[in-house]
């Protein structure tokens, strides 16, 4: 059975259309249609219910899909492992993460990775929204919350602490909060849709109400506003590390509460096939986080 033909079924099932499958496979919609028709003829069953607006798997298609995925992934894995053994890590690695994490942590290690792996190409998408990994052909996403999608695999890369910070100019004008309750009296800078911040109080996680004077969908926007004295914000330590060293931001400690930590997750579409380029990148990020936050592991 031709895996190029079976791949049309697998990708069409993932994205819900032959046109989408054709884009992912780099072929024309006509070729995708012909390949699917040939597969159905070969198997002697109809694999999809198709209308002008939608397509869905038939019961026969649902039954055959796991075998089709195993066939396609097995060939891809075999080819990738042979190339990796012969040439090292190669191909295009498509990574998605937030703008701040990509800029602060990933971008600085890109030159070393490209030098170490001459046949590797990296496509880094910086997006503060959660993207459809499967539909966009993304190999790996770095997220700060465990995904709820059953079709995705999430692997913990490590723990990154968060810190409460403000610019010296803000503290001079408004003073420091002493307790978690004091945050209601300060200008807080929060991610869009956030009206409470997580803290550890009495050994338990509590979500404390805040006075969100400014909110944004991007952590970079909160960071910049905070540096310029707009208020207090809660950000990952890696995002403000240099600012704390240089005195552009001050770390705020509360008497009755401790800031909570992030778990950083590597998220990818399947557990059966983890390509060498994905394994390499995950290993690099694990080492990076372990080096910066060894006591948090």
How far is the C-alpha of 275 from the C-alpha of 139, rounded, in Å?
9
pLDDT band at 177, cuts 50/70/90? very high
Question: What CATH number did the domain enclosing 96 receive?
Answer: 3.40.190.10
Give me the chain's average pLDDT, please.
88
Neighbours of 149 (CB within 10 A): 13
Rounded Cα–Cα distance for residues 130 and 274 (Å): 21
- Of the residues 31, 55, 79, the one at which a domain ends: 79
Q: Name the residue range of residue 17's domain.
A: 3-79
Give residue 261's pLDDT band: very low, low, confident or very high (50, 70, 90): confident
3-state class percentages of the chain: helix first, strand second, coil last, to nearest 5: 45, 25, 30
Regarding whether 188 and 169 lie in a shared domain, the answer is yes
* Domain co-membership, 28 together with 153: no
| Together in a domain, 102 and 191 | no
- List, for residues 196-215, the tens digit of each pLDDT value: 999 999 888 899 999 999 99
pLDDT, mean of residues 245-252: 96
Q: What are phi and psi of 162, to 5 degrees?
A: -105, 150
Question: Both 102 and 166 in a single domain?
Answer: no
Q: Is 176 found in the same domain as 126?
A: no
In this structure, are 149 and 271 located in the same domain? yes
Residue whose tokens read 């290993």 = 283
| Shared-domain flag, residues 153 and 277 | yes
Find tokens 């195993």 and name the residue.
Answer: 70
- Rounded CA separation 129/222 (Å): 15
pLDDT digits (tens, 9 = 90+) for 37-60: 999 999 999 999 887 777 889 999
Separation CA 240–CA 231 (nearest Å): 15
Query: Whole-model pTM?
Result: 0.68
Query: Which residue bears the tokens 């096939």?
Result: 273
Percent of the chain with pLDDT over 70: 94
Task: Give the end-to-end CA distance of the chain in Å, rounded to a whole number.
Answer: 46
Please count the structural domains in the chain: 3
Residues 209 and 280 in one domain: no
Using DSSP's 3-state secondary structure scheme, residue 8 falls into helix
Same domain, 47 and 187: no
166: domain CATH number is 3.40.190.290
Q: How many CB atoms lie within 10 A of CB 221?
A: 18
pLDDT band at 172 (very low <50, low <70, confident <90, very high): very high
178 and 239 in a single domain? The answer is: yes
251 neighbors 169 (Cβ within 8 angstroms):
no
Least confidently predicted of 68-72, 116-120, 181-185 = 68-72
Q: Are strands 120-126 and 188-191 parallel, antiparallel or unpaired?
A: unpaired
Please check whether residues 166 and 143 belong to one and the same domain: no
Once rounded to an integer, what is the mean pLDDT over residues 235-254?
95
The rounded distance, in Å, linking the Cα atoms of 225 and 230 is 5
Final residue of a structural domain among 30, 51, 79:
79
pLDDT of residue 270: 72
Statement to judge: residues 21 and 112 lie in one domain: no
- The string of pLDDT tens digits covering residues 211-244 is 999 999 999 999 999 999 999 999 999 999 999 9
Where residue 32 sits, what CATH number does that domain have? 1.10.10.10
pLDDT at 297: 38
């Amino acid at each position: 059975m031709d895996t190029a033909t079976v791949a049309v079924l697998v990708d069409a099932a993932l994205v819900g259309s032959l046109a989408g499958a054709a884009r992912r496979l780099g072929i024309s919609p006509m070729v995708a249609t012909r390949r699917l028709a040939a597969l159905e003829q070969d198997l002697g069953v109809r694999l999809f219910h198709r209308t002008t607006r939608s397509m869905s798997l038939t019961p026969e298609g649902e039954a055959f899909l796991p075998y089709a995925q195993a066939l396609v992934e097995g060939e891809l894995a075999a080819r990738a492992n042979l190339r990796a053994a012969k040439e090292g890590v190669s191909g295009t690695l498509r990574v998605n993460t937030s703008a701040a994490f990509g800029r602060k942590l990933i971008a600085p290690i890109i030159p070393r990775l490209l030098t170490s792996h001459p046949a590797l190409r990296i496509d880094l998408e910086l997006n503060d929204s959660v993207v459809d990994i499967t539909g966009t052909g993304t190999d790996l996403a770095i997220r700060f919350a465990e995904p709820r999608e059953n079709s995705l695999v999430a692997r913990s890369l490590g723990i990154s602490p968060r810190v409460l910070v403000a610019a010296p100019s803000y503290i001079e004008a408004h003073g420091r909060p002493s307790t978690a309750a004091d945050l209601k009296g300060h200008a807080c800078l929060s991610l869009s849709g956030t009206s409470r911040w997580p803290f550890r109080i009495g050994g338990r996680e509590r979500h404390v109400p805040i006075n969100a004077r400014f909110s944004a969908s991007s952590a970079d926007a909160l960071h910049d506003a905070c540096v310029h004295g707009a208020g207090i914000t809660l950000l990952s330590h890696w995002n403000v590390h240099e600012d704390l060293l240089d005195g552009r931001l001050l770390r705020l400690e509360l008497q009755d509460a401790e800031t909570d930590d992030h778990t950083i997750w590597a998220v990818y579409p399947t557990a059966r096939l983890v390509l060498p380029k994905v394994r390499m990148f995950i290993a690099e990020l694990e080492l990076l986080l372990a080096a910066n936050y060894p006591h948090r592991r």
